[in-house]
Structures are given as structure tokens and as C-alpha cells.
Amino acid sequence: MDPELEAFVPLLQKADLTDPAADRENYAARAAAIPAADTSGMEIEDRTAPADPEVRVRLYRPIQTRGAIVWLHGGGFVMGDLDTDHPFATRIASASGATVISVDYRRSPEHPFPAALDDTYAVLKWAAGHATELGIDPDRIAVGGHSAGAGLAAAVALRARDQEGPSIRFQLLNQPLLDDRQETWSQRHFTGTPLHDRGTITKVWQHYLDSRPATPYAAPARAADLSGLPPAYVATAEFDPLRDEGITYALRLLQAGVPVELHQWPGTFHGSLAILSADVSQRQTAELGAALRRALAD
């Protein structure tokens, strides 16, 4: 493990997801401890996107932005909201120059699949349909997220393709949660990794699926056909149960003719990107921003 990250491991609290309210409170406290990001040079605005029910979003607009990304927070579909993701969304906007549309999708177990996907897809359609009002180019809209949010982004890309929905320029998938089957090597062997492990992810899927069988829109790794999807940047962490499903998904995208950039970060673990003092975390954030900037450029 990267020594700068390893020093923080004894301080990290793992969510067990047996008490969602307590887990959300602890998750929010960890997010609040992250140093504030520089918001100078960008406008931040809270809006609602029409849906049933309406979906809260927060827009981060850097100066002279044109492209945008519909951004989905992590938290295992159970934790996280606009406030906990504020530091990450701000840094993505700053590093990429893109408008970040952070989505406050409904969370499980109160709102299992497909609530979060429906919310996200509604925001994508709203962003594309109101691009002029939002000051963005409708041909430069990406989807992306971290962990469960990255899995949602992949699912939205599948749904938009299948339903001939809004055009998506790019997928930015950071440590994506994609496969409920948990059969990969990393899923079977990483049973004690920091922040989350195989057991945590089992509960994530139990809450999200609510005893229903998984479809490709819930677990994108189950999709038989990945052709015709937007180009992707996929980032994985070495000591993460999700590592191998992210790598496999990237390879399958490549085999389906989709342009892919895959970055496997050695010495890292799931969520270690939040340890901002580490050099590797700073490089990860810069790479995410640079990949998005390239994808949305002329």
C-alpha cells in the first residue's frame, strides 16, 4: 500500500450498512472533515430537475465552461448527498473546466432500484433539453461518478443507448460498482480492505436490489452487449474488491469497439482519493479532470 495512504488506515471507520441512518451520519462527518475546495472562479447553484418526484441538483459552473457532466456521488446507494459530495464535485469542476451537475438521487433501502437510475436519467434528459438555459453544449454532456455513482453512470449510458435517449459524449467511471455477483478474484479475496470489503458490498446489493433479480440497468456488468456506448475512462484501485469488475468492464468495452482509457492505481484502496494530502490522490484527481477535459474538448 502507498505509505502516505497506509498512515491513515487506523483512522478510517468502515460502514457496515446495518443502520443506514447512522452510516449516513458517519459518512457525512467524514466528508465534512475533507478540506474545503477552492470555489473561486465558478458559480454554484442549487436547482431541481422535473421528475416524479423532483430531483435536487447542484451545478458547479467554471468560467467559460461549455461541456458538462452529470455527476453521481458514491456511498453504496445508501449514503451520500449533495453536501457530502461537494468537495469532490468542486474539484472535478475545477480540474476539468466542465459544468458539474451533481445529482441528489434517491437512496436505498428506502428507495431501491430503479429509483436512483430513474432520477439520474431524468436529470440527463433535463440537462440535454435545457442546455441553452444552463449554458452548456448539448453535444458535450458526459456522465460519471465514483463507486456506486460510477455504476449508475454506466447504467444511464446503457439506458440512453437502448431507449435512444440523450446523446452522451463520455463516461467517467471512477472505481465503479458494476456486478452484484461478486465472483471476481478481488471480490473473493479482499475481505478486510479499508473503508469497505466484500461483506460491505454484499449488503450494498441487498439494500439496492431489495431481493429482486439484478438486470443490466442495476448491475451493468450483466449487460450482454456493450457496443454503441460512449467512450470511457475507467479508474480502479489496487486494494479494492471492485477492482477486477472495473478492469473487466473496461476490457469488454474495448472488445465491443468502444474507446477506453483504463488506469489502475497501484497502492490505493477504495475511497482513498479522499485523502487529499497523498501525492497519489492528487494525481488521481488531476487525471480524472484531464480525462474529462479532453473528452469534452473541440
What residues act catalytically? 147, 240, 270
Nearest to 202 by CA among 183, 220, 215, 216: 183
Q: Is the dihedral of CA 265, 267, 269, 275 positive or negative?
A: negative
C-alpha 32 chain-centroid distance: 19
Answer yes or no: are the C-beta atoms of 81 and 73 closer than 8 Å: yes
- Exposure string of 66-102, with b = 16+ CB inside 10 Å and e = fewer, is ebbbbbbbbbbbbbbbeebbbbbbbbbbbbbbbbbbb
Task: Count CB-CB contacts under 10 A for residue 121.
Answer: 25
Per the CB < 8 A criterion, the answer to whether 80 and 73 are in contact is yes
Cell readout for 215 is 438486470
Tell me if the bond preceding 138 is cis, omega within 30° of 0: no
Under DSSP, the state recorded for 36 is: P
Cα 167 → chain centroid: 19
| Owner of C-alpha cell 439520474 | 120
Amino acid identity at 131: A
Q: Return the closest-CA partner of residue 81 out of 45, 116, 128, 49.
A: 116
Which residue, chain included where needed, has cell 460512449?
A: 230
Eight-class DSSP state of 277? T
Q: Determine which helix (DSSP H) or strand (DSSP E) holds 253, and give its type and residue range.
A: helix 243-255
